[in-house]
Amino acid sequence: MAISLDIARDNPNAQTVTVPAAALQPGEDKPTLIGLSREELGEALGTIGVPQKQWRMRASQLWHWFYVRGVSDFAQMTNIAKDLRQKLDDAFTIARPEIVSEQISVDGTRKWLFRFPARGAGRPVEVETVYIPEEGRGTLCVSSQVGCTLTCTFCHTGTQKMVRNLTAEEILSQILIARDRLGDFPNADTPQGAIVPSEGRLVTNIVMMGMGEPLYNFDNVKKALLIASDGDGLSLSKRRITLSTSGVVPEIFRTGDEIGCMLAISLHAVNDELRDVLVPINKKWNLKALLDACRNYPGLSNAKRITFEYVMLKGINDSNQDALDLVRLLKGIPAKINLIPFNPWPGTDYECSDWERIEEFADIVNRAGYASPIRTPRGRDIFAACGQLKSASERMRKKERDAMAAQG
């Protein structure tokens, strides 16, 4: 059965693609090998009788099939003997999770809704992932959680209760399936008419800017990003992986030290009074604590700057004084400033600043030496722009979970 879900809102030209049935088969209930470290892979092989002296070699072989060739079926692993392939298939899965829908914006942006198993949350969960093609690059916006514990008042995800953290496998799977669907693996075909970079790889950049707060799921995000940047696998440069946080101060140093990716901070306000409202985590770690953590970000230099994201909200944070304060606040920190036109969602009271206001604000920021700071909204017609992601997944109440368990 093929499922498609049409949630394109404003633009009749946006398409919803029906995904072929074969791509929809969820993995059976076997443990996955995707998202394991090489050591864990070796140990998993030990459980099906592979002698320890072969673990390293076998783990490298599998790694290559998973992350360079993009294979999601053991049968395709031609340099592994048939009986071992069979044993692997009996014990483990490397199948992709289910794709519920794929929507394509008139500007080429793609949004997928993926379904992952319940893992204790009661029922299967759904998350969104967005692909943004540009000249010379393709950026994948990856989710780290289903819902979010935080409640930033301008963010649609913030209205969805936190359901659960995604596992390292689920974070990586978003990259793997996007590459499947775009034909971004060796010998794969890109769908006809797809808007993608004209040469080179189709997914060149990863931003952890989908649903959820990545630093509240540090271990899984770290594991996934270390695999994504592994030079013998997906091989994405750490300079092209950006993690965005609302300001989980205690984890910021570790992000640079243990993951080594680029950092983006959802700033959005230049004083604590307003930031307490827009980004409530500010009540726990205020601007001073946040900016101190930024100054200490490992590897920070003019060649490795922190991106400060600033959503433009009409009449709230968009005055010339705010722009001047922004520049003053960031003085001395190697920074890029990214002004994000507010993307509206059903039920929000905020409005996007007028275009002239954004330009005047940007001029002040520009004159202080920050280049081209306005982020072009993408995929608005399919509701895929920053802060518009929200899935229908809800945590089941305990009573419902118990009832489901009782049904077997």
Q: What are phi and psi of 320, to 5 degrees?
A: -60, -35
Contact residue for ligand SF4 among 62, 155, 221, 358 (CB under 6 A): 155
320 marked as binding residue: no
Q: Which of 102, 126, 128, 309 is catalytic?
A: 128
Site for ligand SAH in 310-329 (CB under 6 A): 311
213 marked as binding residue: yes
155 marked as binding residue: yes
Near ligand SF4 by CB under 6 A, which window of 154-162, 220-228, 335-343, 397-405?
154-162
Q: Which lies closer to ligand SF4 via its Cβ, residue 157 or residue 217? A: 157
Q: Which lies closer to ligand SAH via its Cβ, residue 182 or residue 267? A: 267
For residue 115, what are its two tokens? 């379904």
Task: Tell me whether residue 294 is one of the annotated catalytic residues.
Answer: no
Q: Could you say which of ligand SF4, ligand SAH, none residue 209 binds, taking C-beta under 5 to 8 angstroms by partner kind?
A: ligand SAH
Near ligand SF4 by CB under 6 A, which window of 30-38, 59-67, 77-85, 148-156?
148-156
Q: Which lies closer to ligand SF4 via its Cβ, residue 70 or residue 214? A: 214
For residue 163, what are its two tokens? 């359901």
Residue 370: HSE in the Cβ half-sphere, 13 Å Cα cutoff: 28
152 marked as binding residue: yes
Is residue 370 a contact point for ligand SAH (CB under 6 A)?
A: no
Q: Give me the residue whose beta carbon is nearest to ligand SAH.
A: 387
Site for ligand SF4 in 234-263 (CB under 6 A): 246
267 marked as binding residue: yes
Q: Name the minimum Å distance from CB 328 to ligand SAH.
A: 21
Site for ligand SAH in 387-406 (CB under 6 A): 387
Is residue 32 a contact point for ligand SAH (CB under 6 A)?
A: no
Q: How far is CA 356 from CA 219, 337, 344, 377, 389, in A?
A: 43, 18, 18, 16, 27
Near ligand SAH by CB under 6 A, which window of 11-19, 125-133, 150-158, 315-323?
150-158
What residues are paired with 312 via a beta bridge?
341
Site for ligand SAH in 265-284 (CB under 6 A): 266
What residues are paired with 205 via a beta bridge?
139
Is residue 205 a contact point for ligand SAH (CB under 6 A)?
A: no
Task: Tell me whether residue 352 is one of the annotated catalytic residues.
Answer: no
* Terminal CA-CA length for the chain: 24
Is residue 152 a contact point for ligand SF4 (CB under 6 A)?
A: yes
Is residue 128 a contact point for ligand SAH (CB under 6 A)?
A: no
If one counts every other C-beta atom within 10 angstroms of the C-beta of residue 382, the result is 27
Q: Which lies closer to ligand SF4 via its Cβ, residue 76 or residue 149? A: 149
Q: Could you say which of ligand SAH, ligand SF4, none residue 340 binds, taking C-beta under 5 to 8 angstroms by partner kind?
A: ligand SAH
Is residue 167 a contact point for ligand SAH (CB under 6 A)?
A: no
Q: Which lies closer to ligand SF4 via its Cβ, residue 157 or residue 174? A: 157
Q: Which lies closer to ligand SAH via its Cβ, residue 72 or residue 282? A: 282
Binding-site entries for [4Fe-4S] cluster: 148, 152, 155
Q: Which residues of this chain interact with ligand SAH, rule CB under 6 A? A: 152, 154-155, 209, 212-213, 244-246, 266, 309, 311, 340, 342-343, 386-387
Q: Which residues of this chain interact with ligand SF4, rule CB under 6 A? A: 148, 150-152, 155, 157-158, 212-213, 246, 266
Binding-site entries for S-adenosyl-L-methionine: 212-213, 244, 266-268, 343
